[in-house]
Structure formats: C-alpha cells, structure tokens
Structure 1
Amino acid sequence: MAVAFHTPMPTRIRDGVTFKEASVLLRRTGHPRSKGTLQRWAQEEGITTERVAGTDYVSFTAILKLHAVRVRGDDN
C-alpha cells in the first residue's frame, strides 16, 4: 500500500511522517499499532513532534525505535 505524504512537510524533522502514515507503514511489520497508540507512546517518551498546517509530524526513525522497544516489551 502506498502512503501519500502530505505537504507542507515539517522543517525540523528530516524523516517526518504523520502518526497515521506511521501506523500504515508499521502494518508491514506484523506488529501493527494504531495512530492513537503511536501518539500516546510518543507523548509518554517525550518524542519531538512538529505541527504544520494543523497536522502533527514525528520522526519515522524515532517511531521505529520506539515501536521496537514497545513490541519487545509486549511480546515478553
């Protein structure tokens, strides 16, 4: 499934995606998480987000790292 990235893109976050885009991309991992779960995790961990034109962007790298840690915790 292709993910359409919205414009304008954030300026401070190089690999910025929306939480919805991140959720769609994580489906391929076999450990999908909802947009809301990713937002909650990011807030709990203090991950930087940037709001552009009313849309929140987050680093996909940061989400991938957080996802890996949380999924390991879920599976143990």
Structure 2
Amino acid sequence: MQVCVKLFGTLSNQWPDYDHEKGLIIELPEGAIINDLINSLKLGSSRIGMVCINNQKVNPDDTLIAEAEISIFQPICGG
C-alpha cells in the first residue's frame, strides 16, 4: 500500500529534495503500523513528537490506511 508522508520541523532535513507540499510517497505492506513507517524512514522514535493519519492523532501501534496522509511532527516545547 502507499501512503503520503508529510514531515514537519527538521525531520525532512535528511531528504535534500523534500517537497513540503507533496511530501513523500512511501510503499509499505498491507497491515503495516505507524512504527513500521517510522522504521522505514529511519527517523528514530526519539525524534518523533506526534503522528497523525488524515489529521487525527494516532499511536505508534495503530495500523496505517492505504492512500492516507501521514503527518509526522518532531517534539515541540516552549512556554
């Protein structure tokens, strides 16, 4: 299945040609979960603050949806 991944903050730095409007199209097997996607992107869980599927916050063990837009945010702090 394919998903569209949008990376926020500095997460996109490892892809020099990353297009912030188009994101990345990633191919994963049916039944893949969020952690499978994170591992395939080699982002490391410590760099991930929040993940959304179609604008809904999800957990690392939630199943991906084919053709979904996955937004991945780095941890954010401040006051």
- Judge same fold: TM > 0.5, yes or no: no
Q: Which has the higher contact order (CA 8 A, sep 6+)?
A: 2
* Structure with greater helix percent: 1
* Structure with greater strand percent: 2
